[in-house]
Amino acid sequence: MMSQKTFHNLIIECVTGDIVRQPDMDAIVNAANAQLRIGGGVAGAIHRAAGPGLEEECRPLAPIEPGQAVITGGHDLPNRYVIHCLGPVYGQDEPVAELLASCYRNALRLAEQAGIHSIAFPAISTGAFGYPLEAAARVALRTVADTAPELASVRQVRFVLHDAADQRVHADMLENLDG
């Protein structure tokens, strides 16, 4: 299942799938922990697929703060880059929506600097960090759409949702999102 819309020449799409199985994307985004270690969820899947070289490259870049992003190589992943974002812990890190928006803005800024054309995001903070899916989707889609006019290199942003219900929430919201 797939839905797509264009904002200022930026294609935004929402698909159901696995973040480590997006071989056509230049970069994938990690829903990281502050220490940039393996962890569970998205981070576990990315580190397992990338191999131990990723954790080694991450070590000197840690720790990072909520809202911050750092970029590394993709190692054994099919993607050239991984951009690691630390999302806010819901009910703990404040202001929570602003910190989540910063993740998306900072990731896109790093992607621009690296000359990246395509980037895939998971739903940052909506797993272990407890951010309600619909509220997080609203922040994520709005932030990416609002950033579109500033992007020159990034042409395609893909939201990869692990389950179909989450994908539907994003697809419906994308459908109703104003440019």
- Which residues make up the interface to ligand AR6 (CB under 6 A)? 18-20, 31, 33, 39-43, 45, 87, 122-129, 160, 162, 166
User: What is the nearest approach in angstroms of ligand AR6 to the Cβ of residue 142?
Assistant: 18
Q: Which is nearer to ligand AR6, 115 or 132 (CB)?
A: 132
User: What is the nearest approach in angstroms of ligand AR6 to the Cβ of residue 69?
Assistant: 13
Q: Write the burial class of residue 56 (CB in 10 Å: 0-12 exposed, 13-18 middle, 19+ buried).
A: exposed
Q: Which is nearer to ligand AR6, 108 or 160 (CB)?
A: 160
Q: Which is nearer to ligand AR6, 105 or 153 (CB)?
A: 105
* Spatial contact of 66 and 93, defined as CB atoms under 8 Å apart: yes
Sheet holding 69-73, edge to edge: 2-7, 10-16, 156-161, 118-121, 27-31, 81-85, 69-73
User: What is the nearest approach in angstroms of ligand AR6 to the Cβ of residue 100?
Assistant: 9
